[in-house]
Amino acid sequence: MTFFAPFTIPFIVGTIFLFVAVATKWILWIARLPKVDRRLIAHNFFSLGTLAAIWEVVRESLLHAKIFRRNPLLGFMHMSLAFGWFLLIVVGWIETIVYLGFEMIPLQGHVFFKYFMPLNGIEAHIPLFEQLMDALLLLVLTGVALAWFKRIASKAMGMRRATKHVLFDRIALSALWFIFPARLVAESLTAALYGGNGFLTGTLGGFIGELLPTEVLTTLYEPAWWFYSSALGLFFVAMPFSRYMHIFTEIPLIFLRRWRLRPTLERKSYDNFEVEACSRCGICIDPCQLQEDLGIHDTQSVYFLRDRRYNMLSLKVANNCLMCGRCEAVCPVGINLTTLRINSRAKRRNIPHEGRYRYLTSLDRSSGEGKVGYFAGCMSSLTPAVQHSMERIFEAVGEAVWYADKDGGVCCGRPLMLSGETDAARKMVAYNTDLFRRHEITTLVTSCPICLRSFRENYHLDGIEVLHHSQYLDRLIAEGRLSVKQGEESYSYHDPCELGRGSEVYDEPRRVIEAVGELREPRHSRRDALCCGSSLANTVIGDEQQLRIARRMTRELEETAADAIVTACPLCHKAIARSTHHTVVDIAEVVARNIAE
Amino acid sequence: MSTLNFGYGINRPRAIDLDNNDLRKSNAIIAEMPELQACIGCGSCTASCTAGAITNFNFRKLHTAVRRGEYRGVYEELSKCMLCGKCRLVCPRGINTRGLVMLIKRKLGDF
Ligand code: SF4
Ligand code: SF4
Ligand code: SF4
Ligand code: SF4
């Protein structure tokens, strides 16, 4: 049996190149993993996590279930390309085994089996396989057609804006678009000359056979197979440098994630898996308010990851992000976009400075005494009504409270962290942790979602329960310690990014509002809520731009026609208050006003 | 001799020497953040400052000095800032003060 023909050379070269390139990347990335990560892999290798990862690979990398849920047509496009191609390979493999038995057949023998069949004198066709392979080819071709369609009409597939691609992506994309039509032509020509094949290539072959004289068919035959093989080869060569590297990156990423590896505030080798797992699907573009409200089109996560991957990340792109998490919430690959953005910033300016914040030594401005600590947060000192309301509530329930920063405190450190100054931030973390420990509190209530998130994610406060004031209030009401009057007023609630998407606190503030009045939801709420635009994470956009973001978001709150707009973050409060004439209050104020006598 | 404490001290006599001050860095900073020229020196940033509440850190003084081309000690002093962002919220001219802190440090420091 012979399984070699000159036209297979592009394919063979491409495949070897692809294999070497991907293997090199994988080996380098894994070898450079820090010790903690390698230990995690060793520890979790034989665990249920591995089984869960296998299932997730099938569900997400092949079937693309998450994209399906978002938009069925878009999901079908991804699925037909990925799963269809995968089945073509698997079924093709089985087909050759059925025909030839378990023999050592080189790779090109499987891939171009239709070419080698007549060459090796195999005449008896198995209709089941012929039809099946044609059906699969049709499935993939549908995917390709949809991909074309998406280029011209992305809106129909639930995407208002599609990704702008770089050169390598364009090469790979063009090659990919040609692979399957080329296969269709080559196999149809084979059918025209040698008979056989299923409903698609067979029928098309018969048609061509009647249309064209045999001499033309034989002249076209080799070039057609050459074209198919070259498209495959070109695609494979471009693949490791293009977005299509995501195919070979998402799979190990899923396993590593199940083995509990995570990106951190400092860059590490694991980040490579996350960065290159991005398929540049562009789903993260639409939710970005910088794009929608400000017309900034170069900073969305897809472009940030692309720039970082090709080492062309500018300071501006790294910094121009609200870290609102709206993109992370929809990313079908589940990339930790915020953490990656932070550690990209860290690399740029994390210069430790001895003596920095030396003034923190032996500083203690706290007052009061109690097991419950109240940390208003820097921003809350600009919204004194929040602090006064909390004080009234503490008094009403007779809570003994230690006030951490009533007379000026130290920042929680998250703003520094968001700017990439993680080393400096650690000094704040150490200072505040020590302060809390020294005053032996067991509960820590904060009015600022930014502080809340840093206490939860960046502090080690074992033995101290950290609550946002909305959670604390919810608990007081539920436990009957605080009785409130149910009033007539209606409130439209804004989910702060750091509280909602950031800390998954959605229900408590809503329950609190419902206890005192009527709750109204804006068009975008909960996981889908809009950012107020004043996020500390963005140091690029100016005042007027912040205001534009705030205005659109506030308009949705106004549209509910509620008596007042309620939020639970001092920063959001400020941003909303300056873009509306409606009443804006914090949830603590709402409760304090409605304490039952 | 004991002096009365009026709650304020007397500044050292000083002069702004615009002929000798090197304005190159100052100009570079203003070129990147032109809005700084809109500063009216109101001092709201200093008044609201978290770091200023616990030390004698004075943000308005620092960015004013930088604009005049007086950079000595500014980098070290500016690293007292906690980047908390209160100043940005109160600035009546809407100056991106946090961005400014980072910009000045970037231009004056060696990173
Ligand atoms: S970051 Fe996620 S959503 Fe955005 S392009 Fe990449 S894979 Fe798609
Ligand atoms: S975090 Fe928000 S601002 Fe940043 S890229 Fe994502 S959607 Fe845009
Ligand atoms: S960001 Fe810096 S300068 Fe501004 S208020 Fe906070 S500590 Fe002061
Ligand atoms: S608050 Fe704004 S305008 Fe006032 S001194 Fe500070 S930067 Fe200048």
pLDDT tens digits, one per residue of A373-405 = 999 999 999 999 999 999 999 999 999 999 999
Residue A356 to residue B80, Cβ atoms within 8 A: yes
SS3 (DSSP) at B3: coil
Q: What ipTM goes with this model? A: 0.86
Q: What would the two tokens of residue A590 be?
A: 């709402």
User: Domain ranges in chain A?
Assistant: 6-248, 262-347, 356-474, 484-593
Say if B86 falls within a structural domain. yes
- 């033995």: which residue's tokens? A463
Residues forming beta bridges with residue A341, ordered by sequence position = none
Residue A250 near residue A327, CB atoms below 8 Å:
no
Q: Which ligand is nearest to the CA of B48?
A: 3
Report angle CA A491, A494, A497 to the nearest 5 degrees. Answer: 160
Residue A143 near residue A264, CB atoms below 8 Å:
no
Q: What would the two tokens of residue A103 be?
A: 């023999």
| Number of structural domains in chain B | 1
Q: pLDDT tens for residues A360-372?
A: 988 999 999 999 9
Say if B3 falls within a structural domain. no
Q: Which residue, by CA, sits nearest to atom 2 of ligand 1? A: A331
**Whether A406 contacts chain B with CB within 8 A:** no
Rounded Cα gap, residues A463 and A46, in angstroms: 32
pLDDT average, residue stretch A316-337: 95
Q: Cα(B12) to centroid of ligand 3, in Å?
A: 26
pLDDT at residue B1 tops 50: no
- Amino acid of residue A69: R
Four-way CATH pick for A356-474: 3.30.1490, 1.10.10, 3.40.190, 3.40.50: 3.40.50
pLDDT > 70 in chain A, percent:
99
Spell A477-492 as b/e; 16+ CB within 10 A means b.
beeeebebeeeebbbb
CA of B49: which chain A residue's CA is closest?
Answer: A378
Chain A contacts of B111, Cβ < 8 Å?
348-349, 351
Residue B99 to residue A540, Cβ atoms within 8 A: yes
- Residue B111 is predicted with a pLDDT of 42
Q: Which residue, by CA, sits nearest to atom 4 of ligand 4? A: B42
| Ramachandran angles phi, psi of A395, nearest 5° | -65, -45
The DSSP letter of residue B13 is P
Cβ contacts of B72 within 8 Å, gap of 6 or more: none
Rounded Cα gap, residues A250 and A58, in angstroms: 11
Residue A565 near residue A529, CB atoms below 8 Å:
no
pLDDT at residue A172 tops 80: yes
- Amino acid of residue B14: R
Residue B82 to residue A416, Cβ atoms within 8 A: yes
Chain B contacts of A540, Cβ < 8 Å?
99
- Asked whether A246 lines ligand 2 (CB < 6 A), one says no
Say if B87 falls within a structural domain. yes
pLDDT at residue B2 tops 60: no
**Whether B21 contacts chain A with CB within 8 A:** no
Residue A382 to residue B50, Cβ atoms within 8 A: no
pLDDT at residue A236 tops 90: yes
Residue A309 near residue A279, CB atoms below 8 Å:
no
Rounded Cα gap, residues A473 and A509, in angstroms: 8
Residues forming beta bridges with residue A383, ordered by sequence position = none
**Residue A80's closest CA among A92, A93, A67, A70?**
A67
Say if B17 falls within a structural domain. no
Q: Cα(B46) to centroid of ligand 4, in Å?
A: 8
Cβ contacts of A585 within 8 Å, gap of 6 or more: A385, A564, A565, A566
Out of A82-91, A391-400, A409-418, B19-28, least confident range: B19-28
Chain B contacts of A544, Cβ < 8 Å?
94
A539 to chain B, minimum CA–CA distance in Å?
Answer: 5
**Sheet of strand A518-520, all strands in order from the earlier edge strand to the far edge:** A518-520, A490-493, A564-567, A583-586
Give the pLDDT band of residue A155 (cuts 50, 70, 90). confident
**Whether A151 contacts chain B with CB within 8 A:** no
Rounded Cα gap, residues B50 and B45, in angstroms: 10
**Residue B87's closest CA among B107, B72, B101?**
B101
pLDDT average, residue stretch A57-79: 91
CATH architecture of A484-593: 3-Layer(aba) Sandwich (3.40)
Q: Do domains A262-347 and A484-593 have the same CATH topology?
A: no
pLDDT at residue A352 tops 60: no
- Asked whether B100 lines ligand 3 (CB < 6 A), one says no
| Ramachandran angles phi, psi of A583, nearest 5° | -75, 135
Residue B86 to residue A542, Cβ atoms within 8 A: no
Please report the DSSP string for A549-579 in residue order: HHHHHHHHHHHTT-SEEEES-HHHHHHHHTT
Q: Which residue, by CA, sits nearest to atom 7 of ligand 2? A: A288
Residue A378 to residue B84, Cβ atoms within 8 A: yes
Q: Cα(B18) to centroid of ligand 4, in Å?
A: 22
The DSSP letter of residue B81 is -
| Ramachandran angles phi, psi of B98, nearest 5° | -65, -45
- Residue A351 is predicted with a pLDDT of 60
* Count of helices and strands (H, E) across chain B: 7, 0
Q: What percent of the residues of chain A are helix, what percent strand, and what percent coil, each to the nearest 5? A: 60, 5, 35
More confident residue, A323 or B8: A323
Q: Which residue, by CA, sits nearest to atom 3 of ligand 1? A: A331
**Whether A545 contacts chain B with CB within 8 A:** no
Give the pLDDT band of residue A125 (cuts 50, 70, 90). confident
Q: pTM of the prediction?
A: 0.91
- Asked whether A278 lines ligand 1 (CB < 6 A), one says yes
Rounded Cα gap, residues A251 and A547, in angstroms: 42
Cβ contacts of A239 within 8 Å, gap of 6 or more: A18, A21, A172, A245, A247, A248
Q: What would the two tokens of residue A206 be?
A: 């018969």
pLDDT, mean over chain A: 93
Rounded Cα gap, residues A180 and A228, in angstroms: 8
pLDDT at residue A37 tops 80: yes
- 């909390």: which residue's tokens? A390
Angle between helices A35-44 and A246-258 (to 10 degrees): 80
pLDDT average, residue stretch A302-306: 96
Ligand 1 pocket test, pick from A275, A305, A340 with the greatest ligand atom count within 8 Å of Cβ, gives A305
Give the pLDDT band of residue B110 (cuts 50, 70, 90). low
CATH topology classification for A262-347: Fumarate Reductase Iron-sulfur Protein; Chain B, domain 2 (1.10.1060)
- Residue A349 is predicted with a pLDDT of 57
pLDDT at residue A38 tops 80: yes
Residue A424 near residue A356, CB atoms below 8 Å:
yes
- Residue A216 is predicted with a pLDDT of 92
Q: pLDDT tens for residues B74-97?
A: 988 898 999 999 999 999 999 999
Q: Which residue, by CA, sits nearest to atom 7 of ligand 1? A: A278
Rounded Cα gap, residues A122 and A125, in angstroms: 8
The DSSP letter of residue A99 is H
Q: pLDDT tens for residues A529-577?
A: 999 999 999 999 999 999 999 999 999 999 999 999 999 999 999 999 9
pLDDT > 90 in chain A, percent:
80
- Asked whether A416 lines ligand 2 (CB < 6 A), one says no
Say if B7 falls within a structural domain. no
**Whether A349 contacts chain B with CB within 8 A:** yes
B79 to chain A, minimum CA–CA distance in Å?
Answer: 6
